[in-house]
Structure 1
Amino acid sequence: MAEAVRPLARRLETDVEAVRSHGVTAIAAVADERPAAVEPVVTELAAVADADDERVRLDAVRAIAAVASSSPDAIRPVVPALAERVDDPHEPVRRPAVDALAALARETPAAGTDVPALLEALEGEAENASDADDEWIQGYAARGLADVARSATADAHPAVGR
């Protein structure tokens, strides 16, 4: 399956929106079933995670999140791109970005950071939170997880996280 993903990833480099869109949709479908097959192309997916087309952004981030669920370390090189999607204008893109960052944060929590508390806040289960506060608390939790993921990648390699 991995050998089929590489040619699809090359489709992401095109300026033809329909070709790029179909390529990322196909990769996301593979990621849903076999995330390991998509690991080799996470950087290509991250490169289109900021596309103008919200569907392309969603499929790219969704595929990366699928990889993160089974192999969090595989997404280290693309943490900066995922962190940018935490504040994506298209709400459905935000959740898989945060899910991917949370998977990495669980794997390598930063010293002094209460990752379980951030995850609780993200799920809307924070103590003393009213319904009116939930979105704000969840937003801060998502950004906190992005910061944890960034710190986990900062020392990985000079080219990562900068």
Structure 2
Amino acid sequence: MSRFDAARARALRLNSGVGFEDLALLAGVSPNTIRNALEGKHNPWPRVAAAIARALGVPAAELSLASGPLTLRDIRHRLGLAQKDIATRVGVCRQMVSRVERGVGGVGAPEHWARAYGLTLKQWLRAHQASQKSALKRVEERIKNTTGGK
């Protein structure tokens, strides 16, 4: 899962000499949102992360951390898009994008989905598979936690 690289964003802010309030103004969000994101208290929404990156003068991908293969959600976050943006591009509802990104259910025309994410079909299929594996891992962890690891 892609997460916001709070340490990288903090370093960029400090190197630029921009304060929380000024960065918030440049990004079009509240100073509290900036403070929470840069202190690592909250993973900001994709559009907020993209706005912070723009305000710091770096690509959104530079403020993303990823562990393992990128999922569809990771890729969408790196693009600074919301689920509704992908839904519009594919011609489906936002809930369908959510289901696909969570690895639940398949799609009828993967080439349309690949285009929406700016990927080749092969890249999209790999990311979709990573999304499915990530979902399976989350379910296994939940089961383990509810059964006490037995």
TM-score, normalization: structure 1?
0.28
- Of structures 1 and 2, the larger Rg is shown by 2
Please identify which structure carries the higher helix content: 1
Ranked by relative contact order (alpha carbons within 8 Å, sequence separation 6 or more), the top structure is: 2
